Structure 1
Amino acid sequence: MRNVLRGVNRILLALVGLILLVAGGSVLAVGLGANPPSWWVYGSRHDVLLSHAQRTRWRADGWWWPTVIAVLAVLVLLALWWLAAVLRRRRLAEVLVDTRDGEGARLRGGALEDVFADQTSRLDGVARARVRLRGSRGAPAARLRLLLEPHVDPGTTLQDIATGPLARARDSAGLAELPTEIRVRAVKHRAERVS
């Protein structure tokens, strides 16, 4: 679902950017003296987008201003929702650790990510590992992205991760479980000419 939202976000940003670029470019071109086609919105550099008659056409009608205000309010709310969705923090800031003394502690999510990634990248055949924690403070989930060397068996590496760095991360945070999504890619080496 998040990939779909990310794709929709990129498409909407591209469309808005393209519309603004075309509109701004046309205004700039006509303002600098370019001759637009006869069907274009502007005829010359002294034209306006809406004439006085067009701007004041429905001003006396009772429905005009409430409609304009409602449409603008909906657009502002949609823009604020979009901004909040884009700026929302995707990473988990902290993890609650059960210290079994009734108090508990907080562990920085970034520290757990760094240690988990460092231990995973030290495994044989792992070129690079990146970890991101998601979910809630009491029930985190991890996303692990691996870049493996070509000679490595992925099944063996996944087993090593499950019994090594993943188990240590789960145990050190005092979690009963740490669901982990692992994405694996292989390193692509360039062919080199040997003389």
Structure 2
Amino acid sequence: MLRTVNRVVTGIVGLLLLVLGGSVLAVGLGAPPPSWWIHDGRDDVLLSRAERTRWQDEAWWWPTVLAVLAVLVVLALWWLTAVLRRRRLAEVLVDTGDGAGALLRGRALESVLSGEANAMDGVERAHVHLTGRRLAPETRVRLLLEPHVEPGTALSELTSRALAHARDSAGLASLPAEVRLRAAKHRAERVS
């Protein structure tokens, strides 16, 4: 959901900036200005001297301008860190027992967990994502269950088999998991 909102907002802002920038460029190169354009023509300036100095003597003007710009900068930095932040765990540090450690690729552990969960009876499809830190990974598991499977049984089997195997093989003290279960919906078929 957040990814979709991010893409839509980025697309709308990009489209608006493209239209505005293209209009400025076209008018600057001599094209007739569009009907919604705020200036008269090619030689008109964006802000006249009167417009630039209109609020200069007001006490609230500069603090307001600076506050709005600071909020915009903070929002832009927040958005940038949200976009660049990794959602998946790239690697897990495995204790080898000899004082050194080994790095296990997060995708490899996800793949093994997903394969073992898919092999469980009554699981139609499984998706596994690792989150957290290298020393304390966490899992997010989504299981699509066939209609005949009880959710409690599937959850018990997942925790006792797949998650326990992953935790033990990686030498982790714990492997917290957020599990989302969903029932598969099959279309009714005509039997003759």
**Shorter-normalised TM-score: what interval?**
0.7 to 0.9
Number of residue pairs matched by the alignment: 183
Unaligned runs of 5+ in 2: none
1:140 paired with 2:158, answer no
TM-score (normalizing by structure 1): 0.73
Percent identity of the aligned residues?
Answer: 52
Cα gap change, 1:103/1:80 in structure 2, threshold over 3 Å: closer, same or farther? same
Task: Calculate the TM-score normalised by the size of structure 2.
Answer: 0.74
**Counterpart selection for 2:97 from 86, 93, 100:** 100
2:32–2:41 contact (8 Å) kept in structure 1:
no
Residues 19-76 of structure 1 show CA distances to partners (whole Å, capped at 9, x for unaligned) of 9659949x97xx898996xxxx647974979562554334976987887567445523
Partner of 2:122: 125
Pair 1:16–1:121, CA change in 2 (3 A): closer
In the other structure, the counterpart of 1:172 is 169
- Cα deviation for residue 87 of structure 1 reads 2.1
Q: CA RMSD in A?
A: 3.9
Letter in 2 for 1:139: A
Distance 1:44 1:62 in 2: 26
Match of 1:56 in 2: 52
Letter in 1 for 2:185: K
Q: Distance in 1 between matches of 2:45 and 2:191?
A: 66
Equivalent residues of 1:42, 1:49 under 8 A apart: no
- 2:148 aligned to which of 142, 148, 151: 151
In the alignment, structure 1 segments of 5+ residues that lack a partner are: none
